[in-house]
Structure formats: structure tokens, C-alpha cells
Structure 1
Amino acid sequence: MAVLSFLSVLLVLCALVLWKRLITSRGRKLPRGLKKLPGPKGMVSPIITRATIRRLSQSPSQSWAQKSLIILYFTGYPIIGSVPDVPEKNGFIKFSDWAKEYGPIYQVNLAGHNHVWISSDEISRDLLAKKGAIYSDRPHIPALIDDNRTAAQYLPLSSKNDGWTRQRRFANVIMRESEKALFYRYPELEAKRMLVELMDEPSKYNHALESFISRVTCRLAWGHSEANEELKQRARELLIGVSPTGALGNKIPFLMSLPDWLVPAKAWERRRARTERRFFELMQQQVESDMREKKAPQSWMRMFLEARSKWGFQYELEGAYAVGMHGIAGALTIAAPMQTFCLAMCHYPQYMPMLHEEIDRVCGDRLPRSEDRPNLPFLRAVIRECLRWRPPVPTGIPHYLIQDDEYNGYHIPAGSVMHPLEWAIAREPELFPDPEAFNPLRWIDPSYPTYREPLTQYPTIINSTQFGYGRRTCQGQAVSDEDLLIGIGSIAWLFTLCQHPEDTATSQPPDTPTVEPEATNGQHGIRIHEKASISSEELNAGLNEMEPAPTMEDIILTKYVYPGQYPDDPKPQIEEHKPVQPTLERVTSLSEKPGETFKGSKFDPKTIDPTLDFTTLLIAKPMPFRFQLTVRDQKRAQKVRELFNEGVENGAYTPSREFWGENHGTDKPLGWGKV
């Protein structure tokens, strides 16, 4: 009887919610002379029937609380729009496909909310930059305990308000000052540790790359690297909280209004927020202690504390959050292009010799450093192409429209969530010929529309579309640029990357088990095999048919003088070349019918393209795969070890710190949550 009463209350509540939604939708009228944006119609889910309720009530595998939540979802939120049409895996490809069908700006109903998708850089600038006064807010993220728009805790996710203004002003200063100091050489310092880790434990390449970024970011934020593992965990947990496909509260928002005991996802988020707050507080206290003892390294936190009253922060830990969120934002995104670099070099091996040629000529037997930037245009082209080919945030960071607007005769209603769809923007065919191919030459060859001069400055990732539009442009562009230049440059200086030999062989039956060789520390033939191989017979056939790639000298240096060229080298006359076009062709659809590409949950990236096995959260990172990592020169390897050992003796490289006790605080009030 009690259960039936509880269920009755839920059903009444759902009816009220549905009535309110219907009344609201009737009040929306299209302004005279304007058209509705095109887009998929979506679908309407049926109201749950008595038979369904009876079947749920008799299911032994679910508690009454879970059954009631399911009923509440289907009855209170019947209009789910196009949600079923979007696969959880690589949904950005589906949105890109819709752009080809409906045009460069269209709208989609996702669970009752209007989402506008923009696949054109020009339209993104017209709306999000030129009309920034009404397009610069952020949408509400239901899964977060504190309102991301007003809490002054999450600067990248905050609405345009006083907290956003003062924290953005603070961020401008700390980024500018640290850039002037070449980021205190922290990337160059941590690159040595990363290379040693890659030599010693190659199967943990993802860990080595992510640790490189998190250690640099920890040093920039607080002056020390010991919190790198904790920072990575804080970043992972927040990423789950903000991703549409992550936390349950983002998929079913009304859950966040129910008690913690009824919704484990809400209890998880509350614990995450408390742990994050305490972590930021501890890191600030550490820097305060270092400053009292006059041993504080340069850091963003030190800049804040040296002029604490200058920034006008309004609550006790606002400065701690302002610094900490920049740390988390860096740890979330910068490692992804480094992992993409490994992926690209395995499937487009013709560019590896070109990269080696440039780095060897400019750097010789020393590691790359910041001053080499003007003389490394091909390295910068590789980095820029990594961001274009596999954008870290393929759906773009969403904006929120605060009032009705119109564009080219179309009505855009207030409350729309605006998505600059980076996956599509980075594939505009007029700007990026053969957009599915990884081709860094498009940035340094004058025959391409993306070519810019001078090559001492271009190509660059600064101000690329991946960093956002208008007033919401990412302020960490310079540190991202520095990390990637030093990180990827150092890997190419020491290693050769290529596909695993067993993945390029076509004679082995597909079901034949493989026995992985043991990795040898610092020796040739290091093999990475953390996860199963991602291979394709068509792709391998394409690789086998490739002719030897022209050298960098043949393609670039013979055409014109460019930074880093040996001054005494003659400039021979050769025939005009055609840009190198990789021959690998991407299979684009599971279906033979147009418009059915990647439809629903049947999409399998391994079937479609071996380079499209990505994580499902907001930050798209290549899933671990195996490849061969070979030390190019044993003298260089030995030099790196010597430099690292010197740093260990001098106290430059300290082990990671655990903050929450045994097992990182599992089952304690504060600690790591399950991810």
C-alpha cells in the first residue's frame, strides 16, 4: 500500500511537469518574417502504460526506488527528441552528418532542450564572437551540486557575471606573466622524466603522456609536481560531471532534486565536490607555507598570494578555485593531442622522417627547448594538424543564448544551447582539402589555403577554433602550445613511432592469439601493447602500397628559404611538386543508404575507421592501442637518463603524494570516486 501511494505521488508530479512543459511550448511563437531552423524532427516517447508499470513492479532485479525513477522519467519527460538517434560513441560524427543534410546551422531537440549546431567557422564567428553580448553565457550543467553558472568555482563553465569578470582578469595576468618567463622551463624539466618513463615502461605510454602534462600543470599552479596524480583524478571526476554522456544527472536532470540516498550519482557528485574543495585548500596552504619559509617556487598561486587583495575575490577560497580550475582544465585537454600524435604517426608514417630531419637539424644532440620554436615550423604543423584531425573537444564547448536572435532569416530562440561543432569546422572542404587525411603539409605548403607566413610564427595553434570563440576563448592557449611543442618535440627527438609489426602483417588469421614480447628498458624495439590492436586490412594494404615518402629537403626546403635551414645549403631547382596526399581512404558508413551514417547505437568505430576509437566523454581521447616505439640513438637515451638522474639527486623530481590515505580514501568521506 505504501509503495502504491509513493508511486501515485510520483505520477501526479509527472503529470504536473508534463502540463507545465506543454503550456510553455504553446507560448512560443515564431516571429513574423522568420523561419524555424531546420533539423531532425526527433521522436516522442509513449506515456507509460499500466502494463509497463505492472511489469516494472514485478521485476526482481530492481528496487522500488529504481522502478519509480524509471516511471518518473518516462511519464515526466515524454518528449525526448532526437536523443535515440545520437550514438553515445562518437556522437559528434552524427551531428556532422546532420550538418550535411540540414545545412551549416540547424537545431536538434535533445530531451526537451533546443540545441543549435554550427558547422561553419564563419557562422560561429558571426554569432558567438560578433554577438558575444548575448551568446557568451554557459548552459546549466545539472549534474554539478553547485550551479556552474553562478558559483564562481568553474571559470570555463561560468556565466558572464562579476565572478567571471574578476577571475578572467586574474587569469589574463597569470598567463601573461608565466608566458614571459617561458613557463619557468617546467615543460623542459618534465620532458626528461617523461622520456625515461617511456623507455622504462612503454606499455604505460598513456600514463607517461598524461603525467607529463599534469606535472607541468601542477608546477605552474602550485610550484610542485607531487600532486600530479591527484590533479589527474580531480580532472577525470570533473570531466564525468560535466559531460553529457558522463554523469547520470546530465542524462536525467530531475534526479539531482531527489535525496542522496535515493540517487547514488548525486551522492558521488557531492563527495567529488567536497574532495575537490579540500584539495584546492590544501594546495593553497602548501604554497602559503613555502612563502613563509621563503622557498616557494614560481607559480600562479604564488602570484595570487603576493597580491591577494588586488583581485577582489569575494569568498575565502575563490583564489584557490581560480588557480585550481586552470590546473584541472590543462590536465583535461592537453594530453589528448599528444596521444593523437602517436596515433597519426602509426597510420601516416611518411611524416615521421620529415619530423626527424627538422628536429635533428635544429636541435642536434640536445633536447628541444622553447627558443627553437621559430625554427621548427614542421613540428608546429604536425601539432596543428593533430588538433584539426582529431580535435580534443570535437563538439566544441557550448555557449548559451540569453535572448531571441535571428540569422539569415532564421529564428534562434532564447535558451538555445549553441555548439560550434569543431569536428565539422575542422573539415570544411574549401579550407581543408581531403579533410579526413592527416596531412601537416597543408600548413606549410603555399599551395594549400591554410598556408600563412611568416613561418617563424605560423603555423600555430594560438587562436585556432579549438580554443573557442569571442569572449569565451580559452586563456590557456600559450601554455598548451608550449607543452605540446616541448612534449611532442622531445618524443620525436628520441623515438621513432610506427605500427606494431603484428598489426601490419596480413598473413596471420584474425583469430590467432598473439604472444606479446617483453619490453626492454631503453633498448630498440620497445613495444606498446596496453590494449588489443586496432587494425584494418584496407588500411594496412594502403600502407604497404605507399611509395617511399619524399624527404623534408625534397618537399619544403628546396622551394623556399624557411627558418632553421642551413645557411650554406644551396637551393636547387626542381620540378613543381604536388602536395603529398596520404592514400588511406576512410570508410564512412555502415549503411549503403545516404543519411544513415553512424545511425543509433550500431556504430562501431573499429569497423568504420581504426583511428576513431575514442572515449565517450566531452574530451575525446584516443583509446589505448599498441604500437612500436624505438629509441633512435642510444647516446641520446643515455644523455636523457643522466640528466634525469641529476635532477633526482637535486630534488627536482619527487614522487607523487597521496592525499586521502590508503587506497586513495576509498569508503572515506573524502577521496577518489569510481570513474
Structure 2
Amino acid sequence: MGAALVLIVIVLAAALYRLSKVGSRPKGYPPGPPTLPVIGNLHLMPKKKHHLQMKKWAREYGPVYSLMLGTQCMVVLSSDQAVKDLLDKRSNIYSSRGDMYLGNIASNSQRMLLLKYGETWRMIRKMCHNILHINAAKSYVPYQDLENKQMMAGMLEKPDLYYGHMRRYANSLTSQMVFGARTLSLDDPKMVQLFEYFEEFSELLGGTTAALLDCFPVLRNFPDVLVPKRKYAKWLHERESKLYYGHWMTAKGKIKNGTAMPCFCVDLVKGQDTYGFPDGLAAYTACSLLEAGSDTTSSTLIGFVQAMVLHPEVQKKARQELDRVCSGRLPTMEDEPNLPYIRGCVKESMRWMPTDILGVPHAVIKDDEYLGYKIPKGASVMWNVWAIHMDPKRHPDPRRFDPSRYEGDNQTAAEAASNLNASKRDHFVFGAGRRICQGIHVAERSLFLGISRMLWGFEFLPQKDTTGQEVMPDPNDLTEGFIVVPRPFPANIKPRSERHAQIMREEWEKAQEFLNAEKQWKKVPEGMMFSVYTPELGAKN
């Protein structure tokens, strides 16, 4: 009995000792804020506006610091050089993801964004490359041109609905590329649901409960009644999977019977024939592209409108350049080399209001060392987008919207991301390393057309209240979650002149000649690099 008691005491002492170490920062880890036993730094994590606190800690603890979050370590990279050195140069070990428990429940572990680095992720990425590489991206300009012209016409008729016009523009472009069908209306229920579900998913993934379940996996054993957010995640999955399966099965059926327009889903059907992956993975792959293409582009354009309301001097300078190059017509992609200030507007929009404000953390798959610090296997590695973008040493007066920062910078976003000189990268919106956004080439063109044509055709002014006072938007009033967008704000959007309005209407009228009675493309424009699926012969390239 005495020996048994001694053993129990020893086991309890060992357990208590191990528990006392949970939450503490081991020797050799990057510096960070003081910890408390068990919880580490969890008590310091804000419920809202995480990016502000992450930036504050970067000033206190340097470009590489660590947060001890229960059983987990998060390493935060807050300089361009640290991102280059680790996520880019060591991408072979920094390209995975952590558990992200609630996010994977909401996605049934099939959302590409959250997949760990491995065979499935590489297979999907290879298929996505087929429609998103640089030469393929150039071929989608006819889609972008037409959707942009509808957006401009819509803003003429209903300028107060600019949020919806920009969302339809980005969603319809991506829907054509992925599923072969346009989104015609601001009120399209599938588009409305997509944005609603993705916003809810973003808030779920960025919430306190998600962090707790990742930091203390033992909590996952509790029933749903004690973890209501898990029940909510399951409910969210039921809703979004119905939407995603609907998109995928409709496209798959048309591809199989030979009635589909060329699109990315052809590659998915061929891949499914070859590799045998389930419809759930195919649906989430297709709709992950739809989410990414719809949300980031539209959110950046909304942020740009806000910037123009706040910075009228930028509008004036931009229009001088536009009027010099293309005064009596809409700008086109061919004008891009001759519009350096507009290119600067595109870059500055992504720097000034980054949609993925803290990125989605990578995970390191083996122990590593950097700047003399140990980075342990399994640690989350966050690229602190906001802190880098708002670093006054990198960007003087960082909250000022100033496209002239990029004077002489002729790089595309992809070229800037691969520049060996980290200080020459324009912004970090598209990620880093092997997980850099594959839609980077398409998104940059969509933003150029959107920004150049809006500046060409419209003035963006503050709304006035009932007393005649201007109501200025608050650039710090953002939605919560891992993806953000300015909350709705008033803006007085009006055409620069009746002549500009007439040209925008005429361009949309001419563009509709390519559409059938259902307002879908009569045929896919020449040169697009979609593959072919011949039902009676099976898949072929």
C-alpha cells in the first residue's frame, strides 16, 4: 500500500510538473509577452481587431516573436525579410497548416485553404494551375472586360448598391472560369449565400472558441452542449455543402452529357476519373476557387472606393493620367504599361486595406532555427500582413493612401513576390511560399480594370447628412474574421460627366452582343486554355 501511494504521488507530481510547463515559453524560443501557467498568452489575445495587437507586439518584441497559446506555439513574422527567409526560402517545411479544428468541421476537412501539405493538396493545386497560370490568366480578359462593363453600367443606375455591383463583378468572372456560367444579378441567391456563408466561416475561424479548441485539444472531447460553436460549425457545413454540391453536381452533369461550357470543372471531372476522389472534395475545390475569386477582389475594390472618398487628391492625379492616355474611351489592359499611377493605385489598394489582414497561419513540419531562435515542429507561423504594410520604415506615413510609393515599380504582384530582395515586394495580400494564391494573375487584372475604369468614369465623394455636413467613412471600421472588408459606408458616386455616362452605357450595350437570350456567353472567346472532356471518348487534353 505504501509503495502504491508513493507511485501515485510520483505520477501526480510528474503530471503537475508537465502541466506547470504548459503555456510557458521554453528557452530559445522567439521572445514574446509574459505568460501565465497553462494558458500562456491566451488572456492577452483581444476579442476584436487582432491585427492592432499583433502590430503592437511587433514593435515591442521585434520582427519575429512568439505567442504561447495553451499547448500551442505561434511564431509571428512581422517583417518582409522574415517572410522571405522562412515562408519562401524554406517553403519545403513551412507550407503546411495546423489543425484548425472548427474550420475543418465546417469544411468536412475538404477546403483547400485548410488542407495540410501533402498528396491531396498537391493534386488539387496542380489542377488549379491548369487554369490559373500566367498564360491562362491573360486569356480571361474578355470575361473580365464584359463583367466590368456590366458593373460600370450598374453603378450608373444604382450607385448606392456599389457593394453588390463589385461583388457580382468578381463572382460572375470566377463563376464563368470555374463553372462556365455568369452571375447576372446582385440578388442572385447563390451569390448572396456564398458571401454570407464565407463571412460566417471567416468569423468562426477567427473566433475565440476556435483558438481554444486548437490550443487545448482535450476540450474537443466535451459534448456539443458545452461547445456550441462546434454545433454551429456542423450547421454551417450543412448549409454551405448544399450550395457547393449543387454547383458541382450541376456542372458535372453538364460536362458528362456534353452540354457544359468550357471551365475548370472539366479538369475536376477528368481528375475524378483518374484519381477517384469523392464529390465532396471536388465540390469544395471548385467552390474554394469561387470563394477566393469573389471575396478578395470585391473587398479590395470596396476598400478602394473608401480610399477615394478619403483622398480626393488621388482621384485628381489619377484622372490626369487617364485623360492623357485614354480620354474618350474606357481604359483597357493594353493601356496598363502607360498608366503607372493607376498601377500604383492597384498596389496601394492591397497595401492600404489588406483583406487577409493577418493571413492564414502556415505550420512548420520539423524543428527549425532562425536568427538564433528555435521554431518547434508543429508551430503555427503567422505572416503579420498588417504590421508589415503599416511599418513606417517600409512605408512612410502608412495610413495615407499614396500610389506614388510605387513610382518606378513595374513588377507584377507575382514578380514582386518572387523578388529576391524582400524590400522590393509591393504587398503581402496573396500570401507566400508554396501557398501563394494561384489566382494572383487573374486578380491583379480584375483590379486594374475595376480601378482604372471607375476612376475614368466616376467621382467618389462623401455623402452629406441632413445638416449638409460631410459624413466621412472610418477606415478602421472593418468586419471581424480572418478575411476582412470595410463595413458598409456612405459614398456619393456619380459620373464625371454625361459624356462619360453615355460611353459606359454604350460599352455595356455593345458587350451584350456576345451574350444569348439568357445573358450567357454564346460561345467561349478564343484562346482560353480550358481542357476538353468528350463524353463518348472519356477525358482527353
Residue 517 (structure 2) aligned to one of 645, 651, 660:
651
Counterpart of 1:219 in 2: which secondary structure? Answer: helix
Q: Counterpart of 1:163?
A: 120
Say whether 1:108 aligns with 2:108: no
Distance 2:12 2:323 in 1: 66
**What SS is found at the alignment partner of 1:81?**
coil
Among 140, 152, 159, the alignment partner of 1:195 is 152
d(CA) in 1 for partners of 2:15 and 2:151?
A: 56
Equivalent pair of 2:23/2:35 in contact (CA under 8 Å): no
Q: Please, which of 210, 220, 240 is the counterpart of residue 167 of structure 2?
A: 210
Q: CA separation of 1:138/1:203 partners in 2, compared to 1, >3 Å: closer, same or farther?
A: same
Q: Please report how far the alpha carbon of residue 364 of structure 1 lies from its aligned counterpart in structure 2 after TM superposition.
A: 3.4
User: In the alignment, which residue of structure 1 is the partner of 2:28?
Assistant: 35
Any conservation in 2 of the 1:38–1:107 contact (CA below 8 Å)?
yes
State the shift of 1:443 in Å: 0.4
The corresponding residue for 1:131 is 90
- Matched to 2:229, the amino acid is A
* C-alpha contact 2:24 2:40 (8 A) present in aligned 1: no
Structure 2 counterpart of 1:185, one-letter code: P
| Residues 518-557 of structure 1 aligned to structure 2 (within 5 Å) | 533-534=471-472
Cα separation, 1, equivalents of 2:110 and 2:154 = 34
The alpha-carbon distance between structure 1 residues 209 and 147, as it changes in their structure 2 partners (threshold 3 A), is closer
1:490 counterpart residue number: 453
Contact 1:192 1:644 in 2 (8 A): yes
Q: Which residue of 2 aligns with 1:299?
A: 263
1:636 aligns with 2:490: no
Q: 1:145 to 1:138 in 2, by over 3 A?
A: closer
| Contact preservation (8 Å) 2:110, 2:281 | yes
Deviation for aligned residue 1:128: 1.8
Query: TM-score if structure 1 supplies the norm length?
Result: 0.66
Identify if the C-alpha distance between structure 1 residues 207 and 25 changes in structure 2 by more than 3 Å, giving closer, same or farther: farther
State the partner residue of 1:98: 57
Alpha-carbon spacing, 1:495–1:131, altered in 2? closer, same or farther (3 Å): same
> Which runs of 5 or more residues in structure 2 are unaligned?
1-10, 184-189, 418-426, 521-541
**Of 402, 420, 425, which aligns to 1:439?**
402
Distance 1:313 1:376 in 2: 47
**Is the deviation greater in 399-408 or in 94-103?**
399-408
Asked if the contact 2:105–2:234 (Cα under 8 Å) also holds between the matched residues in 1, the reply is: no
Task: Determine if contact 1:400/1:418 at 8 Å carries over to the other structure.
Answer: yes
Q: Is 1:624–2:488 an aligned residue pair? A: yes
Change (3 A) 1:88 1:146: closer
Structure 2 residue 235 is matched with structure 1 residue 271: yes
**Residue identity opposite 2:165 in structure 1:** A
Tell whether the 8 Å contact from 2:131 to 2:137 is kept in structure 1 after alignment. Answer: no
Say whether 1:236 aligns with 2:199.
yes
Q: 1:223, 1:17 → 2: CA distance?
A: 62
Letter of the structure 2 residue corresponding to residue 266 of structure 1:
R
Q: 1:134 to 1:348 in 2, by over 3 A?
A: same
* One of 341, 353, 359 as aligned partner of 1:378: 341
**What is the rounded CA distance, in whole Å, between the counterparts of 2:23 and 2:36 in structure 1?**
19
Q: Give the SS at the match of 1:394.
A: coil
Secondary structure of the 2:146 match is: helix
In structure 2, how many angstroms separate the alpha carbons of the residues matched to 1:248 and 1:99?
Answer: 20
Give the aligned residue type for 2:238: R
The question of 1:395 aligning with 2:355 is answered: no
How far the C-alpha of 1:642 sits from its partner, in A, is 4.4
Structure 1 residues 306 and 160: alpha-carbon distance in aligned structure 2, compared to 1, 3 A threshold: closer
| 1:202 to partner: Cα distance | 2.5
Which residue number corresponds to residue 666 of structure 1?
Answer: none
Q: CA deviation at 1:184?
A: 5.5
Structure 1 position 169, deviation (Å): 0.9
Q: d(CA) in 2 for partners of 1:344 and 1:136?
A: 33
Per-residue CA distance 1:140-180 (angstroms, 9 max, x = gap): 112135497xx762222211111011111111112128735
Secondary structure of the residue aligned to 1:497 is: strand
Amino acid at match of 1:243: G
**Residues in 2 aligned to 1:169 and 1:392: alpha-carbon distance in whole angstroms:** 25
Match of 2:310 in 1: 347
Instruction: Tell me if structure 2 keeps the 8 A contact 1:145–1:270.
Output: no
CA distance in 1, matches of 2:360, 2:229: 24
1:412 to 375, 381, 392: 375
1:287 to 245, 248, 251: 251
Q: Percent identity?
A: 27
Aligned partners of 2:377, 2:264: CA distance in 1, in Å? 37
In 2, Cα distance between equivalents of 1:281 and 1:196: 32
- 2:385 is aligned to 422
Q: Distance in 1 between matches of 2:204 and 2:327?
A: 45
Greater Rg by CA: 1
CA positional deviation for 1:119: 0.9
Shift of residue 260 of structure 1?
4.2
Whether the 8 Å contact between 2:344 and 2:403 is mirrored in structure 1 is: yes
CA positional deviation for 1:358: 2.4
CA 1:40–1:407 in 2, change beyond 3 Å: closer, same or farther? same
Q: Distance in 1 between matches of 2:246 and 2:339?
A: 40
In the alignment, the residues of structure 1 paired with residue 212 and residue 498 of structure 2 have an alpha-carbon distance, to the nearest angstrom, of 52
After superposition, the Cα gap between the structure-2 partners of 1:302 and 1:95, relative to the gap in structure 1 and judged at 3 Å, is same
Q: Is the 8 A contact 2:75 2:381 kept in 1?
A: yes
Q: Please give the alpha-carbon distance, in whole angstroms, between the structure 2 residues aligned to 1:380 and 1:239.
A: 29
Bigger helix share:
2
Deviations 1:9-42 (CA, angstroms, capped at 9, x unpaired)? xxxxxxx9999685266499999xx733211114
Distance 1:462 1:205, change over 3 A: farther
Amino acid at match of 1:321: Y
The 3-state SS of whatever aligns with 1:334 is helix
CA distance in 2 between partners of 1:139 and 1:498 (Å): 44
Q: Is contact 1:239–1:332 with CA below 8 Å preserved after alignment?
A: no
Which residue type is aligned with residue 277 of structure 1? S
Q: Which moved more, 1:414-423 or 1:428-437?
A: 428-437
Question: 1:499 is matched by which residue type in structure 2?
Answer: P
Following superposition, the deviation at residue 652 of structure 1 comes to 5.9
Quick one: distance in 2 between partners of 1:652 and 1:125? Answer: 48
Q: Does 1:465 align with 2:446?
A: no
Cα distance between partner residues in 2 of 1:246 and 1:490: 43
Q: 1:117 to 1:165 in 2, by over 3 A?
A: same
